[in-house]
Structure 1
Amino acid sequence: MISTRTLRLGAVTAAAVLLAGACAADGDGAADNKQDAGGAANASATHKAMEPVPTKPEDWKDVAQALGRKGKLSGGTAYRTGFPRSDLKVTSKGVTVKAGLSLGSYAAFARYGDGTTLAMGDLVVTEQELPKVTDALQKAGIAQTAVHKHLLEHSPQVWWTHFHAQDKDATKIARGLRAALNTTATPPPAAPSGEKPDLDTKAIDQAMGTPGKNDGGIHKFSFARDEKITDHGKALPPAMGVTTAIGFQATGDGKAVINGDFAMTADEVQKVIKALRGGGIDIVELHNHGLNDNPRLFYMHFWAHDDAVDLARTLNKAVAQTSVTPAG
């Protein structure tokens, strides 16, 4: 016979189980609601992102003076200045790498309606220069957001460091970058090269599905992300460095070395790796360039040396795995 005390205990236990289940359900629901609210908030933040304001080249004259060279205005909003490391004689797997393919430091600036200027970019530095560049950037209040490689086996050892800064005084940022560059052997600006790539660029363009551009003898392609990319609530123009960039450097007999990086969301990464490896293209590095970008972007550097048109076909398959559009 079951005692009254046992029945009471059973009833209490059952009630506790039911209560725990209800609480768990409520908790899960609350978590789901919180997640949904967070997703909505992120979507809203992206939708309401502050857009860069239109500028003119003359609006950046003080920045150009602080940097020691002129830049170019892209899309009416992003002012971008290049600092090619033509002083470096870098070889990778027996190939001398031209500055235009892999060794191009740059700084990009954009202004916003709240009066601030956002600066982003990438500096190419030797292993000996890197600590001094880091100290100079930190002293200037410029954040480093990535330190990585673009090349596999190469000599001398070179590193790439991305940076991010916001300030109401754009020239202050420019002076900080100039101080960092002054710790390196980055050469002064030189006249544009009229060299043309010794490649069948028409066949490469056909294989890539879009026309490329000659940049000092390097045949280049750029693809902008289809979605709006933001950082700290500010929309980023493609010229700020949030694009897929591909370069072909001729090596003779229709062959080329390729280098650059793919800008990808997390769910695109493995698809791009599979496409690249399917055509024998090496993966060099997988990393982030920013700390607060939304959606979160991953960048993957690559390398191969083979028939240029065959490489273009493989690259086209990889690009097709991402949500991008050819950038002008």
Structure 2
Amino acid sequence: MRTITRALAGIGACLAAFHFELLVPARAQEADWQKVDETLGRKPMVSDDVRRYGFPRSDLSVTLDGVTIKPALALGGWVAFKPGHGGAMVMGDLVLLETEINPVMAKMIASGLEITAVHNHLLRASPATFYMHVAGHGDPVKLASAIHDALAESKTPLTVAAPAGPPPAVDLDTAKLDQIIGVKGQANGGVYQFNVKRRDPITQEGMALTPVGAMGVATGINFQPTGAGKAAITGDFVLTGDEVNPVILALRTHGIEVTALHSHMLDEQPRIFFMHFWANDDAIKLAEGLRAALDKTASTKG
């Protein structure tokens, strides 16, 4: 009887180990991130467990109200990978010309990726640019290949050019801007950028979308110097429904144009709306207007 009991225990242990092997490898196995880098043709910015790849439209010369827009101001496409659900979640925002939308979308759909939004961010820009938000989950290398093949249907640069020289200086009182906005900004390609977090967590498919900046769910504010202390500003506020109209009123009261209001995702919790804006005026004055709008939201300071 002891022999039979030991044998049954051994079989049970084997079955348990087999069941464990079925469940664990997809989670425990390390993704081949080097292969993802090679497929996308660039290195990511890594924040905690998120790898964010930039696809700036450096091939475009876009002007708006006499301002030549730097890629970091409003032409910075990106995709971000976050491990989860036995593989990775991917989210992104691709910058496209009107003629590129349908070819890129067709490739995305054929690869099983989701299109979660297509819309403008700016008004009066020449040429007009549109923004395609995408999502998916699965094997990171397969996701990267699908994104690469879709972007190949556009003229988005798929190789990273060597820097032509040092980045242009940000000729603004950035310390004063930091003080007014309430968080520390960062220079990027001649543009001074802020990411302002919300106090409440945002989730999708049961996963917390963190870090919020890397995953595109922090309020983004960009300043591009236009001379004599002035700046062109754009970006997007991340808002709950009850915050939308108070923020519209605050922005318009301070001479800041609201250029778009829409969703970026399909099933996030809580429901979030994204409000884009534009102005070109004294940078300190605009920062004060943006701060007034931020005060209408559940945003953090510091």
Aligned residue in 2 for 1:84:
56
Among 283, 287, 294, the residue aligned to 2:269? 294
Report if the CA contact (8 A) 2:197-2:299 is conserved.
yes
Report if the CA contact (8 A) 1:245-1:260 is conserved.
yes
Report if the CA contact (8 A) 1:54-1:77 is conserved.
no
Aligned partner of residue 325 in structure 1, secondary structure:
coil
Aligned residue in 2 for 1:209:
182
Q: TM-score, normalised by structure 2?
A: 0.86
Give RMSD over aligned pairs.
1.9
Distance 2:109 2:52 in 1: 22
Aligned residue in 1 for 2:120:
149
Distance 2:93 2:301 in 1: 22
Q: Deviations over 1:111-157 (max 9, x none)?
A: 02x31310001000011111111111111111110111111111112
Report if the CA contact (8 A) 1:222-1:326 is conserved.
no
Cα offset for 1:191?
3.9
Distance 1:278 1:203 in 2: 21
Aligned-pair identity in percent equals: 45
Report if the CA contact (8 A) 1:55-1:77 is conserved.
no
Cα offset for 1:199?
1.2
Among 249, 262, 278, the residue aligned to 2:237? 262
Aligned residue in 2 for 1:197:
170
Report if the CA contact (8 A) 2:32-2:141 is conserved.
no
Report if the CA contact (8 A) 1:207-1:313 is conserved.
yes
Aligned residue in 2 for 1:126:
97
Structure 2: segments with no counterpart, 5+ residues: 1-26
Q: TM-score, normalised by structure 1?
A: 0.79
Cα offset for 1:55?
11
Distance 2:168 2:184 in 1: 18
Report if the CA contact (8 A) 1:91-1:154 is conserved.
yes
Distance 1:254 1:89 in 2: 23
Q: Deviations over 1:208-233 (max 9, x none)?
A: 22221101110010012222211122
Aligned residue in 2 for 1:174:
144
Cα offset for 1:190?
3.0
Which letter does structure 2 place at the counterpart of 1:286?
Answer: L
1:159-170 equivalence runs, <5 A: 159-167=130-138, 169-170=139-140
Among 80, 90, 96, the residue aligned to 1:108? 80
Which letter does structure 2 place at the counterpart of 1:179?
Answer: D
Structure 1: segments with no counterpart, 5+ residues: 1-52
Report if the CA contact (8 A) 2:183-2:196 is conserved.
no
Aligned residue in 2 for 1:227:
200
Which letter does structure 2 place at the counterpart of 1:190?
Answer: A
Count, aligned residues: 271
Aligned residue in 1 for 2:294:
319
1:240-251 equivalence runs, <5 A: 240-251=215-226
Cα offset for 1:303?
0.2
- Quick check: which has more Rg, 1 or 2? 1
Distance 1:286 1:55 in 2: 40
Cα offset for 1:207?
2.0
Change in 2 beyond 3 A, CA 1:54/1:306: farther
Which letter does structure 1 place at the counterpart of 2:272?
Answer: L
Distance 2:77 2:296 in 1: 28
